[in-house]
Amino acid sequence: MGKTAIVAGGTGLVGRELIMQLLEDPAYTKVIALVRKTMQISHLRGNEKLVQIVTDFSNLDAIIEPSILEHSHVFCTLGTTIKKAGSQEQFRKVDMEYPLKLGQMANTGKADAFAIVTAMGANRKSSIFYNQVKGEVEEGLSELKLNALYVLRPSLILGNRDEFRWGEKLGSVVSRAISPLMIGGLRTYRPIHAKTIATGLIKSAKSGQIGTHVLLSAQIAELASK
């Protein structure tokens, strides 16, 4: 039998790419998308195996049946910005509390793999709030001792977002220009496309490796190219 994939955050930049790739992957017979609003996907190939669940992430226990999680691959692409969240407290809920709750449920439900996108600078001791929260969620998930945990730390993410972010747009232009010069140890700072990250998530989950694995941008790109 094929695998069930469970995706939290399917309407975001990486999440959308992930959903599209999962629908086309014959290894997955069901794709459950936990979304804040329903996606229009009738045009996508493989859409018949997609189940969308409009989700209140603060009440995951009431939405996800433990039996659904058994032997599944759970993907977390939840993420926001402080501007969009409205406060640091709300940002922490979306980027740390919700992923941790999902991780706890995946662990209890005996999921085969849990894969999450964090950030290149993730570090709970960072003076930058964003990186600090990303580091805290990584540490919290590691402590759960999941069967297989894959943490992907991309650098600047390329792709077409629904909302315009001036800082990211400027960074994208500059990074694209100097990317060819980023060789050796600098390769991990190259911008990376959302499609590449989505491929890295899937290939990580399907690798069958147990334990915790952290992949930086260059490693994600290398894995996705295989």
3-state secondary structure of 64: coil
Q: Among 130, 189, 203, 206, which one carries the catalytic annotation?
A: 130
How far apart CA 10 and CA 32 sit, in angstroms, is: 10
| Both structure tokens of 220 | 């994600």
Angle at alpha carbon of residue 124, lines to 119 and 126, rounded to 5°: 80
Q: Which residues contact 166 (CB under 8 A, 6 or more apart)?
A: none
Q: Among 101, 134, 150, 195, which one carries the catalytic annotation?
A: 134
How far apart CA 187 and CA 180 sit, in angstroms, is: 9
How far apart CA 72 and CA 114 sit, in angstroms, is: 9
Residue 125 buriedness (CB in 10 A; 0-12 / 13-18 / 19+): exposed
Closest to 215 in 3D by CA, of 126, 129, 122: 122
130 tagged catalytic: yes
Q: What is the DSSP letter of 125?
A: T
150 tagged catalytic: no
- Residues that are catalytic: 130, 134
